[in-house]
Structure 1
């Protein structure tokens, strides 16, 4: 596994990037064919696309997997653990991707979207294939470094920043698809869709935060059991 896993990481990184580019191309194409001013505003469409947690986490995962693949091909000694800084990044992207898979398949898979908005194969790659690959990476990848429990707290930084950014930006954007004077990347974050308003949104955020911490604990625990502990 030590010999071929770097290539698997590189292949997964390339697949994730292809899926991101494919979906971005479709989103921009739809915007260019839009019949409304807000629907055809390309800067907003592009910024919204890059504001999805799924896109950001997949992009980060692709970068980290590519770095890991290249590092392993250059450092052939199987007894050498991955660098500490890389191991922390790997714990983060592993956590984000596993949570992405869980949230999508539990909360979003049955959400109906307008025909032609999503690229089906890209959607499955970003929400199923790459999350499953990162889970496999946690369980089976060679040379993962055992980390301290402090890595769990580090994983929480990006999701917190993303949630704050999303809620602050939401009411400054006109939704390209509907013309509403707000835009939320996911329906469970939109207070206009819940009887409880922001209270319900807060409950969802707390639930996802618990999921992120829980998955991060799992990822670090697995790493501590099967990872390399440098002297």
Structure 2
């Protein structure tokens, strides 16, 4: 069912170049990479996309084929990468969607040239959503807030840092919530899934990271011994 959903993608640069896939954080959209794409286009085939449930990608109704769990996002990421290119990709992922990219990368190292994480939550100390996002998962209140464009979009984005958003830019981020209630339902569903599953995902991430570092250290030590011998 994942393959039946439509993804919104913006491309820049020649398809002959090495692909780099830019994926936004929670609760943003591909529009956040609008100034990055022109910088990358000379050397890469740059592709920015909206996750399912966000921006202008499809927003399937929860419990009808896609429940916005982290494992479903991993599977959907695999599907869209396979559909976009048969080349190795550089994967750039932001924020709370980083554990999804890490799990994908650990299972598909043969598909990646590199993995770049922007502001990722990589430890248990960051396993809780900030209050501006956590409230979106609350029973009843969260559902109401997720249907409010100013609360779902403006407030959550502005809480991420000391930045101001121009009105024309803010309107792009609001538009999905103004157009259909499905954007709010999707945001509520992913907020609930993150709240339940993020800690476990962080533990898996730490285990994977420590295993990788330990494995590399052992290989390095073995190489040093062989060189010394």
Alignment TM-score, normalising by the size of structure 2 = 0.28
* Structure with the higher strand share, 1 or 2: 2
TM-score of the aligned structures, taking structure 1 as reference length: 0.28
Larger helix fraction of residues: 1
